[in-house]
Amino acid sequence: MGSGGGTEWPKRPEELEKLVKDAISDEQRGKYATDLNSYLEDLLADINKRDPDIVNRHLDTIRDALSKENEESITLLHGGSMKKHTYVDGLSDVDILAIVNNSALENESPQRVLEYFAERLRERLPKTTITVGKLAVTVKFSDGTEVQVLPALTTKTGIRIASAEGTEWSNVVKPDKFAQKITSVNQESGGRVVPVVKLYKVINSQLPEEAKLSGYHIESLAVNAFEDYEGSRSYKDMLQHLAEYASNAVLHPIEDNTGQSIHVDDKLGPANSPERQGASASIKRIVTRMKSGDSEAQLDRWMQLMGDSPTP
């Protein structure tokens, strides 16, 4: 009998068995990847569940209220997903960065500036609930929508925002420059970087306090990790890429390529400090859990990383 020139059919039973197992394994991997990305998309939908039109109306209300300041000392930068200094509390994004140009406050503590903001807002929005947190003022409207305002202070040396601990002022920042950079990197990825940052912050929030990175640090790492990224744009693969990049990058003070002069990771100390080595080890454990197999059990591990209990 002649040969048809196609793929040769296995002659031994064990060869056929291997072909079948490989086919099943490929099918399982494909299903796992689909299920995992669907889960991550659902999680993002939950993170972003606020109605943007309603939020924008409330942002306009806050903007109008603060613009009535007699000294015209407050400039508002609408946060969206680009100008948010989201290390305020890890998961809740800041909606407005409000820059105060008031020399009388230059030597005041961040907490005093927060109180100043709250006072101004209470005067102009008496029917809303306004609370002062460690780093931001939260305005809760009657429909239940909450908007966070992060004050920044103009000083002789530049714009300052509170440190992650809320007890002192950070180094100088250039919020517009950083906004431009993360916007550019996000657009180059088809709008995937900002969602990946949000998902990574969920993972970060599950870590012990001493191992957590600030949200601002995570954003800066993401800018560097994805600046020339040409890999897969699935949320699974991009999250894994960010974690792998961060596990090594945290060992050294982050390089400032965003036009800012703030050091977002000062609290970790110099290169290869014990704090940096601890952060690196924590992230490497995350990477290991992300990469350990392509199965239903692995989907459960990802859910655990996100703080979800897998379905029994």
CATH of the domain at 116: 3.30.460
Per-residue pLDDT reduced to its tens digit, 165-195? 778 877 656 666 776 777 788 889 998 998 8
Q: In this predicted structure, what is the pLDDT of residue 184?
A: 86
CA distance 46 to 61: 25
Tell me, yes or no, whether 155 and 181 share the same domain.
no
End residue of a domain, out of 151, 173, 195 = 173
In this predicted structure, the answer to whether residue 159 has a pLDDT above a threshold of 60 is yes
Model confidence at 96, in pLDDT bands (50, 70, 90)?
confident
Alpha-carbon gap, residue 36 to 96, rounded angstroms:
33
For residue 233, give its domain range: 177-305
Of the candidates 58, 57, 69, the one whose C-alpha atom is nearest the C-alpha of residue 123 is 69
What's the CA gap between 209 and 309, in Å, rounded?
21
Give percent of the chain with pLDDT exceeding 70.
Answer: 73
Dist. CA 260–CA 158, nearest whole Å:
11
Q: Which residue has the tokens 């110099």?
A: 270
**182 and 301 belong to one structural domain:** yes
Report which of residues 144 and 6 the model is more confident about: 144
Same domain, 216 and 199: yes
Both 169 and 181 in one domain: the answer is no
pLDDT at 31: 81
Q: Tell me, what DSSP letter sits at residue 308?
A: P
Least confident of 47-51, 85-89, 287-291, 298-302: 85-89
Rounded CA-CA distance 101/7 in Å is 75
pTM of the model: 0.74
User: What's the domain count of the chain?
Assistant: 2
Q: Are residues 78 and 62 in contact, defined by beta-carbon separation less than 8 angstroms? A: no
